[in-house]
Structures are given as C-alpha cells and as structure tokens.
Amino acid sequence: MILSDRTIRELIRKGELSIDPFEDSLIQCSSVDLRLGPEVVRFRKGDVIDVKKPVENVVKESLEEGILEIKPKEFLLATTLEYVKLPPTVTAFVEGRSSLGRLGLFIENAGWVDAGFEGQITLELYNANEVPIRLYVGMRICQLVFAKLDREPERVYRGKYSGQRGATPSRIYKDFLKNTE
C-alpha cells in the first residue's frame, strides 16, 4: 500500500519516519520530494572497474558554488540534501522527477530503499541529452514513494550503505568478502 500525504505526516509527527532537514512543502499527495545535496562523485577515465575491489578512479567534488553541470552522456553520483530514516515497516521507491526526465536526465538509485534504511540517498545521474544540463544544490531532484510492509521483516536493512553521508561509490566489492551483506 502506497502511503498518502496524511500518513507520511503522521509518521513524521510520531518520529517513526525521519527526514532531515524537513520542510512540509516537500510533501506531495503520495510522495516526498528530496533535494540535491552539495556533493557529487565523478568517474575518471582510466582502468577497468573491478567489482571485487573498492572503486578508486573517482573524484569527490563539493559543489561550493551551488551549481552542478552534467555533460552530455556523463554519468555521476550525487546525494540528497536530506538524511532519511525509515521505520522497519516502511520501504520506499526513489523516482526521478518527470520535469527533469523530460530534459534527458535519468535519475536512479537502483530504485529501492529497504525498510530500516538510514542515510542520505546516493543518486545515479545520467545525462542522455546532447547538451549539458545545469542543476542547483537545494533544488527538488527526486521523490520518495513510501509503501507499508504487510508486517515487520525478520531482518531490517543494516547493509553496507547504512548511515551513508554524501555521494557514496559502489561497495559491491564487499559482496565478495566473508560475513558481509
């Protein structure tokens, strides 16, 4: 069941769902808009990315001027301004904003935020257009659609991205380590 604006506000008021910083104006009828945060990760050209090793050919950038320009056909990681804490009975879908998609900007995060997740959300941005796209820190970039689980899971999310802050490169290499999610 997708949660309505009333249910989202109620969960926030009870402290069961946390979005920080929070502005009531970000709540839509069945979602919450999240804003672009001040950090991105760009990939440098170079060696092959080996999924069994930490990603090393990246450069973290602080968007001190508040402007992000994404070149045509460029892929990068960005972060949300908001730090989100989901209760163990709520999951969320990350959706790009239609208005940005109509400019050729693809916004993802693998599309899913597990119940119990806590952290800023790393977004994968791809400019499919033939011209650069300019974005601004603090602008609405995506939306979270919340869904209620039928009951509390046996194991809530405590994975390799729990508590992340800023644009976080892939940690898939941890899948190959013993005793790691």
What span, in angstroms and rounded, lies between the C-alpha atoms of 144 and 89?
Answer: 15
Between vectors from CA 172 to CA 171 and to CA 178, what angle results, nearest 5°?
A: 100
Rounded Cα distance, 126 and 106, in Å:
5
**Does 124 qualify as catalytic in the annotation?**
yes
- Contact residues for 77 (Cβ-Cβ < 8 A; gap 6+): 40, 41, 122, 123, 124, 125, 167, 168, 169
Which residues pair with residue 79 across a beta bridge?
122
How many Cα neighbours within 13 Å face the side chain of 71? 4
| Residue 83: count of CB within 10 angstroms of its CB | 19
Catalytic residue among 124, 152, 154, 181: 124
- The position carrying tokens 């899948």 is 175
Q: How many residues does the chain have?
A: 181
- The residues that are catalytic are 124
